[in-house]
Chains A and B, each alone.
Chain A
């Protein structure tokens, strides 16, 4: 199989790259320093249909495949990881509807999300339920014509700016851990919905990470996504398609670090020569570029396998996220090394990239969880 991009994918990549270089790159340092959610970038991504890419054509989207969507995340993340995450989260929030939503629910939510008028978030994690969703305490109980939700969620990317949040809550505490959860769409304007805390983070500082509390939030029955008890399956299926997005963010960050390092190695003169002529620096650049390309190719292959309906989609998703996240961390760390002392200060972008890279080893499943998924898939396949 080939991972050469189609002409269309290449054109999309180029169009997003131009937009990112011209309009987002100049904002990246400021977004990181201020820690403010960049409304101007949201507006830009919306206006240029970057959000629309992955949504179905009949609901105002562009009907792009997973790889095309990931190319957009990669190119935006190359210049600004926060902005890349905004693209990824909007798609993530919509995935439960893609996977299990009714046609009426899609028609109700997709057009606004594709336009970027409606921002979404995905709320699975809780204080006691990170890697292990069995720890979820948020409860949804039958309440007249709908459901009453009580509890809270932690580490929710863009939870404080979202208009609608896909919330996973326990509907049957007696059921097995794979059957006890259900997925609900909760509007942030609902009475009882509150943002109780915002985290101070090491990286992706422009993307607010929120703690949400639900105090008797009432949702009507048409906000239940899929069947009662289907939540766990929806969450796992969501991660199969969202982890490549994080891998794409990681590849983008890596590429940004490679580009910055090559530029610097050409300009910075020590011992009378540009440091790029020193073999120890050359070796670092060569390794950084090679690792980045390897991560990219694994990501592209994973996208094609997942889009093609591979049985082991979960493994592909975990593998590309694992490898790309570790690559981003290694490559950005080396980028700081190439810059020397200048890499450690915020006048240059590589320290930001290194801080941003770290999250790709943590969210949407830690690297340890990815390895668990991969190993289980290997061992069960041989049974």
Chain B
């Protein structure tokens, strides 16, 4: 199975800084945590059933460093769409660019993480599936090949447990962290990543009209950005266990949480 994992290079978590025009400072990047979970699932699928995993990213040139970790984990190669004209693109444009890159690549399955640690829009995978007119299976907690070898089956988290969904390939699956912890790159993986290729494509390489992407064409604008408010004072219960349990229960009941 040819699997392409969408991987976003995000600002190092905890060091996010906003620059001019509410643009995130993307000078120090790392692989988006949620994407590493679906990469792990992709690697397990190909290890069990054969095939190859590629990672696809859109971002600045520095994104290759974040992609290198994916190669060290076991992805075979990386593709980065990078072009000055892409700066400030909205999620719709991002979906369009990734869809164009995916059409160029060819694939059986596209995997994407549930959200990114920076923008947290959580819509790019759906946008890609829509653009490509492919089945979109979201919030997967488990991914397995269908029995016929031409479909994919996922367990989707629902309010009452799991839904089991199946779709013909090719398809787009958005996965959650329930897929399982991503592996650490092994020393062998890190050293072998050196010999793996990261192909960089520009807008021209993908025949994308620059007028359709970037800040000028963005369908959304950020009007304000604020740091999160400081957390309200926590309630600390310091009574003996039995009494403390009652306090906690009362607290939760009052908020209709149990």
**Chain A residues proximal to chain B, CB less than 8 Å:** 7-8, 11-12, 15-16, 18, 48-50, 52-53, 62-64, 72
Contact = CB atoms under 8 A, between A and B. Distances in A.
Contact of B191 (A7, A18, A48, A62): A62
Given A7-B65, A7-B68, A12 B187 contact: yes
A53 B193 contact: no
Question: Most chain-B CB neighbours within 10 Å: which of A15, A50, A53?
Answer: A15
A235 B37 CA distance: 49
Nearest to B190: A11
Interface of A is mostly: helix
A53 B187 contact: yes
Nearest to B69: A11
B193 A62 contact: no
A261 B65 CA distance: 34
B233 to A, nearest CB: 25
Interface in B132-153: none
A49 B188 contact: yes
A8 to B, nearest CB: 6
8 contacts: A7-B68, A8-B194, A11-B72, A11-B185, A12-B190, A15-B186, A48-B186, A62-B188
Contacts of A64: 191
Contact of B184 (A8, A18, A62): A18
Contacts of A72: 187
A378 B147 CA distance: 73
B185 A49 contact: no
B99 to A, nearest CB: 30
| A-B residue pairs, 4 tightest by C-beta | A62-B191, A49-B187, A11-B190, A49-B188
Nearest to B187: A49
Contacts of A63: 191
Nearest to A16: B187
Nearest to A61: B191
Contacts of A7: 65, 68
A72 B190 CA distance: 13
Main secondary structure, interface of B, reads helix
B191 A15 contact: no
Given A7-B65, A7-B68, A15 B188 contact: no
A18 to B, nearest CB: 6
A168 B247 CA distance: 75
Contact of A52 (B69, B188, B194): B188
Contacts of B190: 8, 11-12, 15
A15 B187 contact: yes
Contacts of B65: 7
B69 A49 contact: no
A148 B186 CA distance: 43
A64 B188 CA distance: 10
A7 B194 CA distance: 10
A62 B188 CA distance: 6
B185 A8 contact: no
A72 B188 CA distance: 13
A16 B186 CA distance: 9
Contacts of A52: 187-188
| Residue of B72, B186, B187, B194 with most partner-chain A CB within 10 A | B187
Contact of B193 (A8, A18, A48): A8
B240 to A, nearest CB: 28
Choose among B68, B69, B190 the residue with the greatest number of A CB atoms under 10 Å from its CB. Answer: B190
A50 B68 contact: no
A21 B138 CA distance: 37
Interface string B30-74: 000000000000000000000000000000000001001100100
Contacts of A49: 186-188
Contacts of A12: 187, 190-191
B186 A8 contact: no
B188 to A, nearest CB: 5
A52 B187 CA distance: 9
Contacts of A48: 186-187
Given A8-B190, A8-B194, A18-B184, 20 more contacts: A7-B65, A7-B68, A8-B68, A11-B69, A11-B72, A12-B187, A12-B190, A15-B185, A15-B186, A15-B187, A15-B190, A16-B187, A48-B187, A49-B188, A52-B187, A52-B188, A53-B187, A53-B191, A63-B191, A72-B187
A150 B193 CA distance: 48
Contacts of B194: 8
Nearest to B191: A62
A355 B69 CA distance: 38
B71 to A, nearest CB: 10
A48 B191 CA distance: 13
Given A8-B193, A8-B194, A62 B68 contact: no
B193 to A, nearest CB: 7
A49 B72 CA distance: 14
A100 B184 CA distance: 36
A246 B232 CA distance: 52
Interface string B161-203: 0000000000000000000000011111011011000000000
B18 to A, nearest CB: 26
B2 to A, nearest CB: 26
A192 B37 CA distance: 56
A18 B194 CA distance: 21
A62 to B, nearest CB: 4
Interface string B83-116: 0000000000000000000000000000000000
A68 to B, nearest CB: 8
Nearest to A62: B191
A110 to B, nearest CB: 15
A293 B187 CA distance: 25
B70 to A, nearest CB: 12
A62 B187 CA distance: 8
A50 B191 CA distance: 12
A107 B187 CA distance: 22
